[in-house]
C-alpha cells in the first residue's frame, strides 16, 4: 500500500425503497427488482470524493453482500472511487452487530485514515453499524454529519443536533456517519461508467479476513421475526351541527385520547 | 413476480455497462430534465444549459469512439439513453438525436481525420451544436429531388439552396448539409460541413410550432456560401450518406418512443388509481383496466423490438428495413398510447400539468419526421413484394 492517505467508505446495497412496495407471505417486495446504493452511503461517498479532490485522499469503498452486489458497488467506482472491495459470504440474517464485527476486521487489516459511511440504511433505518464499528476500533466517531472538512490532519464535522449544529474535531483515524442532507451525490457519467471497468474491484470471502472462521459463524444477536405493513390511518369522523354540538364533540374526542398519544 | 414496467424482464438481459448507463441517464433525466419539461413545452423554450449538462453526463455521441471524445458505448446504450430522454420530452430527445446521430455519426463515418479531430470532441462537449440539412420546402419524403446545389469554385464550392424543418438550426454552430453536385454530367448527392457563421448562411427560427416546442426548429438558407474543399466528405456519394445517419437516428426513435409510451402508461395508471368517480377509483372499472392492459401489451412489444434491434446493431447484423419496422411500429403505438392516456385523464388530460398531452402532440411530429409512418410502410412493402411503390404508376 502506498503512503497515500485513504478514506474508506462503507456502503450497503438496499432495495429501491422509492419504488412501490407490496407485502406477501411476511416479506416485502419492491416494484423495482434491482437493489440500489444506500442513499446515505452515496452521500458519504460523495463527501469522500469531494475531500479527495481537495486533499488527495484515495477513496476505497467496501460493501458486504452477495456477488451480485458487484454491480451496485461498481456504481461507486463509476462515481469516482478509486478501488472497491466486496466481502461475500455474510451469515444469514446478519444484524448490525455482525456487520460491524466483519467491517472491523476489514478496517483493521486495511488501515484507512478515516471511515465515512451513511448514518443508517434506507431500508431498515437501524443506524447502529457505524457506532458499533467505531467502538470495535476504539476510534473517535461523529454521527449525522451535514458538513465535513479536513484541516491539519484533523477532521472537522458539522453535526446536526436536535436544535443546534455542533462543530466537532476528530484526530485521524476517525469514523464519521453522514446525513443524507450532507450533499447531492453525483450521478455517474457515461465516461465514469466506462472507466469503472478498469478500476480494481476485489471480491473476497469474509472467511479470508482475520478471524474469518468465527466471523462467518457468529449468529446474529437479534432476529427480525416478521414484517408487516404500516398501520393505515384510522378513518376520521365528520361532525355536523351547531357550534355547541361541535365543541361538545371536540371535548369528548380529546378526552378519549390516551395521554400517551393517539396511536399508543 | 410480474413486473408491471418490464413484463418480460428485458432490463435483466442488458449488459452491466448498458444497465448502468440506462440508470444514470434515468437519474439525470428525472432529476434535471423532467422539472423543466412543463415550462419548456408550454413556453416554447429550450434551456440553453441542457446541451452542456447532457455533454457532462456523456449523453452526446454516446456510441462515438472515445478517441474523438465520444463515449464508446454500445448501440443498445445509445438507445437506452434515447428512451430516458424521450420519457421526459421528444423535443429533448430530438436535440440529442440530431447532435449524436445526424451530426456526429456522419463526421465519424464519412469525415476526414482532420474533420473528425476538428469537430467531434467539441460536439461531444457541446462546445459546438450541430444540425442536419436534408429536407427541403418542396422535397420531404423524396429527398433525391432536392434542389440545393453546390458548384465548384477555386479552393472549394459555392452552395445555394434552402432546407427546412431543421432541429437545432437556430442554435447550431455547424450544419451537415446534403446537396447536389455535378459529377461526369450526372447529379450526385454529397455531404458538406457548413459553419453557420459563414457569410451567406442564415438559420431562421420556425415560429408557432404546436409540437416539439421544447426544442428549436428552423430553416437553413444558403446564398452563395463558400465552402472550402476541406469541408466536403471526400468519399460518400448518393442518398446512402444521409440514410446512414437517418438509420441511426430512427433506431434511437424506436427506443425513445418506448420512454414516451411508458410515461403515458405510468401517468394513466397513477391517475385512475387516485381519481374517484361514483365512489370508487376509476381503476376499479373494466374499461380503464383493459386500456392499461392494452398499453402494457403494446409497450412490451415495443421494448422487445427496440431491445432486439439494439442487439442486432451491436452485432452488425441490422438491416434498414428492420429499423423501418421498429420506427414505424413503435412511434405508431406510442402515439396510440398517448392518445388513450390523454383520454383516460379526462379534462385534466388537456392541461400541461399532467404532461400526457405534450407527448400526444410531440409524437405527432415523431410519427412524421425521420421517414413518415407510411413511407416506412412502403419500405417494408418493397421488401415484402419486391416492387417499389414510392413512385406512383398512375
- Mean pLDDT over residues A123-127, rounded? 91
Give the model's pLDDT for residue A216. 87
The pLDDT of residue A1 is above 50: no
For A43, the grid coordinates are 452521500
The answer to the question of residue A105 being in a domain is yes
Q: Residue A227: inside a domain, yes or no?
A: no
Summarised one tens digit per residue, pLDDT across range A50-109 is 999 999 999 999 999 999 999 999 999 999 999 999 999 998 889 999 999 999 999 999
Q: What is the pLDDT of residues A196-217, one digit of tens each?
A: 999 999 999 999 999 988 888 8
| Minimum-distance CB partner of B1 among A29, A192, A197 | A29
- Write down the pLDDT at residue A260: 58
Question: If you measure CA to CA, which chain A residue comes closest to B78?
Answer: A190
Q: Is A252 on the interface with B (CB under 8 A)?
A: no
Structural domain includes residue A248: no
**Strand order across the A141-151 sheet:** A165-171, A154-160, A141-151, A174-178, A114-118, A6-11, A58-64, A83-88, A201-205
Instruction: Show the low-confidence residues of chain B (pLDDT under 50).
Output: none
B23: cell is 440508470
Measured between CA atoms, the residue of chain B closest to residue A71 is B16
Residues A120 and A132 sit within 8 Å (Cβ to Cβ): no
Q: What is the pLDDT of residues B244-285, one digit of tens each?
A: 999 999 999 999 999 999 999 999 999 999 999 999 999 999
Is there a domain that residue A141 lies in?
A: yes
Residue A91 has what DSSP assignment? P
Which residues from chain A sit within 8 angstroms of residue B16, using beta carbons? 71, 74
Per CB distance under 8 Å, which residues of B are interface residues toward A? 1, 3-5, 11-12, 16-17, 19-21, 23-24, 27-28, 31, 56-59, 62, 66, 71-73, 77
State mean pLDDT over A24-32.
78
Radius of gyration of chain A (CA): 22
CA B210, chain centre distance (Å): 18
Going B364 to B369 to B374 to B379, the CA torsion angle's sign is: negative
* ipTM of this complex: 0.93
Q: Is B370 a catalytic residue?
A: yes
* Band of pLDDT at residue A32, cut at 50, 70 and 90: confident
Please give the DSSP secondary-structure letter assigned to residue B99. I
pLDDT-based confidence at residue A264 (cuts at 50, 70, 90): very low
Q: Work out the minimum CA distance from A132 to partner chain B, whole angstroms.
A: 33
Contact A189 B17 (CB under 8 A): no
By the 8 A CB rule, do B189 and B242 touch? Answer: yes
Res. A2 pLDDT band, cuts 50 70 90: low
Assigned CATH for B131-236: 2.40.110.10
Say whether A71 and B20 touch across the interface (CB within 8 A). yes
Q: Reduced to 3 states, what is the DSSP secondary structure of residue B274?
A: helix
B4/A31 CB distance under 8 A:
yes
Give the number of other CB atoms < 10 A from CB of residue A1: 8
Confidence of residue A259 (pLDDT cuts 50, 70, 90): low
Residue extents of the structural domains in chain B:
10-129, 131-236, 241-385
Neighbours of B35 (CB within 10 A): 11
Nearest-by-CA chain B residue for A21 = B3
For B16, the closest of A74, A190, A192 (CB atoms) is A74
Give how many domains chain A has, as a whole number. Answer: 1
CATH class of the B10-129 domain in this structure: mainly alpha
* pLDDT, position B353: 95
Query: Residue A29 and residue B28: Cβ atoms within 8 Å?
Result: no
Looking at the domain assignment, is residue A243 inside a domain?
no
DSSP label at B369? S
* Per-residue confidence (pLDDT) for residue A162, from 0 to 100: 86
CATH assignment at residue A10: 3.40.50.620
Q: What is the pTM of this model?
A: 0.92
Burial B89-117 (b: 16+ CB within 10 A, else e): bbbbbbbbbbbbbbbbbbbbbbbbeebbe
Domain that holds residue A106: 6-217
Shortest Cα distance, chain B CAs vs residue A153, angstroms: 33
Is there a domain that residue A64 lies in?
Answer: yes
CB contact under 8 A, A187 and B16: no
d(CA B88, CA A191): 23
Does residue A259 lie within any of the structural domains? Answer: no
What superfamily would CATH give domain B241-385?
Answer: Butyryl-CoA Dehydrogenase, subunit A, domain 3 (1.20.140.10)
| B216: its cell numbers | 428549436
Phi and psi at residue A231, in whole multiples of 5°? -60, 135
The answer to whether position A253 is within a domain reads: no
**Distance, in angstroms, between B71 CA and closest chain A CA?**
6
The confidence band for A255, taking pLDDT boundaries of 50, 70 and 90, is confident
Amino acid at each position: 500500500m502506498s503512503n497515500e492517505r485513504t478514506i474508506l467508505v462503507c456502503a450497503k446495497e438496499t432495495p429501491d425503497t422509492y419504488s412501490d412496495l407490496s407485502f406477501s407471505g411476511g416479506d416485502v417486495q419492491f416494484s423495482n427488482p434491482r437493489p440500489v446504493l444506500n442513499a446515505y452511503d452515496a452521500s458519504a461517498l460523495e463527501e469522500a470524493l469531494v475531500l479527495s479532490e481537495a486533499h488527495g485522499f484515495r477513496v476505497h469503498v467496501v460493501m458486504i453482500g452477495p456477488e451480485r452486489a458487484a454491480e451496485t458497488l461498481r456504481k461507486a467506482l463509476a462515481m469516482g472511487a478509486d478501488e472497491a472491495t466486496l466481502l461475500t459470504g455474510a451469515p444469514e440474517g446478519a444484524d448490525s452487530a455482525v456487520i460491524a464485527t466483519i467491517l472491523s476486521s476489514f478496517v483493521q487489516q486495511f488501515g484507512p485514515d478515516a471511515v465515512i459511511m451513511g448514518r443508517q440504511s434506507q431500508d431498515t433505518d437501524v443506524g447502529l453499524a457505524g457506532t458499533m464499528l467505531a467502538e470495535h476500533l476504539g476510534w473517535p466517531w461523529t454521527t449525522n454529519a451535514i458538513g465535513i472538512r479536513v484541516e491539519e490532519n484533523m477532521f472537522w464535522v458539522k453535526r446536526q443536533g436536535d436544535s443546534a449544529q455542533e462543530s466537532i474535531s476528530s484526530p485521524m483515524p476517525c469514523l464519521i456517519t453522514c446525513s443524507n442532507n450532507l450533499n447531492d451525490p453525483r450521478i455517474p457519467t457515461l465516461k465514469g461508467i466506462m472507466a469503472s471497468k478498469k478500476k480494481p474491484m476485489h471480491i473476497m470471502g469474509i472467511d479470508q479476513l482475520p478471524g474469518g472462521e468465527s466471523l462467518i459463524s457468529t449468529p446474529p444477536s437479534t432476529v427480525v421475526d416478521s414484517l408487516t405493513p404500516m398501520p393505515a390511518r384510522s378513518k376520521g369522523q365528520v361532525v355536523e351541527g351547531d357550534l355547541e354540538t361541535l365543541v361538545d364533540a371536540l371535548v369528548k374526542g380529546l378526552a378519549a385520547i390516551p395521554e400517551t398519544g393517539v396511536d399508543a | 413476480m410480474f413486473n408491471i414496467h418490464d413484463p418480460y424482464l428485458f432490463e435483466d438481459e442488458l449488459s452491466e455497462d448498458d444497465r448502468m448507463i440506462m440508470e444514470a441517464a434515468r437519474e439525470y433525466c428525472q432529476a434535471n430534465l423532467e422539472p423543466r419539461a412543463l415550462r419548456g413545452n408550454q413556453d416554447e423554450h429550450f434551456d440553453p444549459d441542457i446541451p452542456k449538462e447532457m455533454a457532462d453526463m456523456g449523453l452526446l455521441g454516446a456510441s462515438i469512439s472515445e478517441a474523438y471524445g465520444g463515449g464508446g458505448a454500445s448501440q443498445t446504450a445509445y438507445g437506452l439513453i434515447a428512451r430516458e430522454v424521450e420519457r421526459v420530452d421528444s423535443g429533448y430527445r430530438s436535440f440529442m438525436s440530431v447532435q449524436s446521430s445526424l451530426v456526429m455519426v456522419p463526421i465519424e463515418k464519412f469525415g476526414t481525420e482532420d474533420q473528425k479531430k476538428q469537430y467531434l470532441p467539441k460536439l461531444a462537449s457541446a462546445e459546438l451544436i450541430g444540425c442536419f440539412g436534408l429536407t427541403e420546402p418542396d422535397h420531404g419524403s423524396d429527398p433525391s429531388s432536392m434542389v440545393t446545389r453546390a458548384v465548384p469554385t477555386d479552393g472549394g464550392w459555392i452552395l445555394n439552396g434552402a432546407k427546412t424543418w431543421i432541429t437545432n438550426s437556430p442554435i447550431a454552430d455547424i450544419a451537415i448539409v446534403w446537396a447536389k453536385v455535378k459529377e461526369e454530367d450526372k447529379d450526385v448527392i454529397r455531404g458538406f460541413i457548413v459553419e453557420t457563421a459563414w457569410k451567406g448562411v442564415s438559420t431562421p427560427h420556425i415560429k408557432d410550432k404546436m409540437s416539439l416546442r421544447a426544442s428549436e426548429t428552423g430553416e437553413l438558407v444558403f446564398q452563395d456560401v463558400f465552402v472550402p474543399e476541406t469541408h466536403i466528405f471526400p468519399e460518400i456519394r448518393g442518398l446512402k450518406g444521409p440514410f446512414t445517419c437517418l438509420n441511426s437516428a430512427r433506431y434511437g426513435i424506436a427506443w425513445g418512443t418506448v420512454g414516451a409510451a411508458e410515461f403515458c402508461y405510468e401517468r394513466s395508471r397513477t391517475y385512475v388509481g387516485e381519481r374517484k368517480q361514483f365512489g370508487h377509483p376509476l381503476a376499479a372499472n373494466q374499461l380503464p383496466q383493459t386500456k392499461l392492459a392494452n398499453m402494457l401489451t403494446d409497450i412490451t412489444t415495443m421494448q422487445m423490438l427496440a431491445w432486439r434491434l439494439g442487439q442486432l446493431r451491436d452485432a452488425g447484423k441490422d438491416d434498414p428495413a428492420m429499423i423501418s419496422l421498429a420506427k414505424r411500429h413503435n412511434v405508431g403505438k406510442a402515439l396510440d398510447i398517448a392518445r388513450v392516456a390523454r383520454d383516460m385523464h379526462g379534462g385534466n388530460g388537456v392541461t400541461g400539468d399532467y404532461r400526457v398531452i405534450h407527448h400526444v402532440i410531440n409524437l405527432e411530429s415523431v410519427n412524421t419526421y425521420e421517414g413518415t409512418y407510411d413511407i416506412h410502410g412502403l419500405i417494408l412493402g418493397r421488401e415484402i413484394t419486391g416492387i417499389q411503390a414510392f413512385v406512383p404508376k398512375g
